[in-house]
């Protein structure tokens, strides 16, 4: 306590000098460091209220597959195509000069390396984070990645739906032929009966059985056609199931400086106190040593 009292009263200049020197060095260090602004965007998965097999297909999103897709060159290239030429130029501006030919590949590499993706299965939320020296570019990249996730899911669902429709087409066509054959058989049965009896046709058990079978086959055909229509409707706007939950906004410029400056102040103050105490201690030691030598 005596040393600290001495520091405050008589050696305040030592404390101030050390603190100022440390702060200057720390500020220069912070200014020289490349800035990394982080933008965040989230997507909400709105599961369709559909029962049966279609619900499983719509709500059973494969998060791992989506995470790998976000890192895939194809999806990243599609995201880059959503950016204007000016935005691409701004993307590579903070880095070393890139040739026009290498710029696209460079953007693709950085966009893949600087993004982070996380999932909350309980909330059904996908979070995309991206870091870049330019805060506006960081926000724009997150926006195009969010848009491309929606586009990716839309393309995937359309491809799956078209595949299922193509698989159903032969069944529908075969069922249509079967129903037509049953209708023709019923007509032939009626004509034979009228020709044989010479009277108006009266349905018998054989005809009623054929009629019931025809009705059942028509119902099955209607179900197949309805299924194809439902699949076509499901392949519609994907925004019914994926919607942006939190729009990416540029990080505040001031927020970037607050943490480093606060850290510099804390470290500078602590080191200044330690340096001041050491200086006072050393000075006191030599003063006492000189006094002891003079006394002897």
Angle between helices 135-197 and 63-71 (to 10 degrees): 130
What is the reported pLDDT for 49? 40
Per-domain boundaries in the chain: 37-254
User: Strands 242-246, 37-45: parallel, antiparallel or unpaired by DSSP?
Assistant: antiparallel
Query: Taking the complete model, does pTM exceed 0.85, yes or no?
Result: no
**Averaged in consecutive runs of 10 residues, what is the pLDDT profile of the chain (296 residues)?**
52 67 70 74 64 43 74 88 88 71 78 86 81 87 88 78 78 83 83 71 74 83 76 51 60 60 69 69 66 60
| Rounded distance between C-alpha atoms, residue 60 and residue 47, angstroms | 9
| Rounded distance between C-alpha atoms, residue 102 and residue 89, angstroms | 12
**Checking phi first, is residue 124 left (phi over 0); if not, alpha (psi -120 to 50) or beta?**
left
| Rounded distance between C-alpha atoms, residue 284 and residue 296, angstroms | 18
Cα–Cα nearest to 237, from 163, 149, 151, 161: 151
């Amino acid at each position: 306590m005596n040393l600290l009292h001495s520091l405050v009263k008589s050696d305040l200049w030592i404390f101030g000098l050390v603190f100022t020197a440390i702060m200057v060095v720390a500020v220069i260090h912070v200014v020289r460091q490349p800035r990394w602004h982080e933008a965040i965007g989230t997507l909400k998965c709105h599961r369709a209220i559909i029962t049966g097999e279609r619900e499983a297909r719509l709500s059973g999103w494969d998060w791992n597959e989506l995470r790998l897709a976000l890192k895939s060159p194809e999806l990243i290239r599609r995201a880059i195509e959503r950016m204007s030429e000016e935005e691409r130029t701004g993307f590579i501006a903070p880095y070393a000069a890139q040739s026009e030919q290498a710029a696209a590949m460079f953007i693709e590499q950085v966009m893949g390396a600087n993004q982070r993706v996380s999932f909350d299965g309980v909330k059904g939320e996908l979070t995309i984070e991206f870091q870049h020296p330019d805060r506006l570019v960081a926000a724009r990249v997150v926006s195009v990645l969010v848009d491309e996730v929606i586009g990716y899911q839309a393309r995937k669902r359309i491809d799956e739906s078209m595949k299922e429709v193509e698989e159903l087409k032969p069944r529908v066509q075969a069922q249509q032929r079967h129903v037509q054959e049953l209708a023709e058989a019923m007509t032939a049965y009626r004509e034979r009966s009228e020709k044989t009896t010479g009277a108006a046709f009266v349905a018998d058990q054989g005809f009623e059985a054929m009629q019931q079978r025809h009705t059942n086959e028509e119902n099955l055909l209607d179900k197949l056609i309805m299924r194809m229509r439902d699949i076509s409707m499901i392949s519609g706007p994907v925004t019914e199931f994926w919607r942006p939950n939190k729009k990416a906004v540029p990080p505040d410029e001031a927020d970037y400086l607050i943490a480093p400056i606060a850290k510099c102040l804390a470290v500078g103050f602590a080191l200044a106190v330690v340096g001041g105490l050491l200086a006072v201690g050393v000075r006191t030691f030599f003063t006492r040593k000189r006094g002891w030598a003079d006394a002897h």
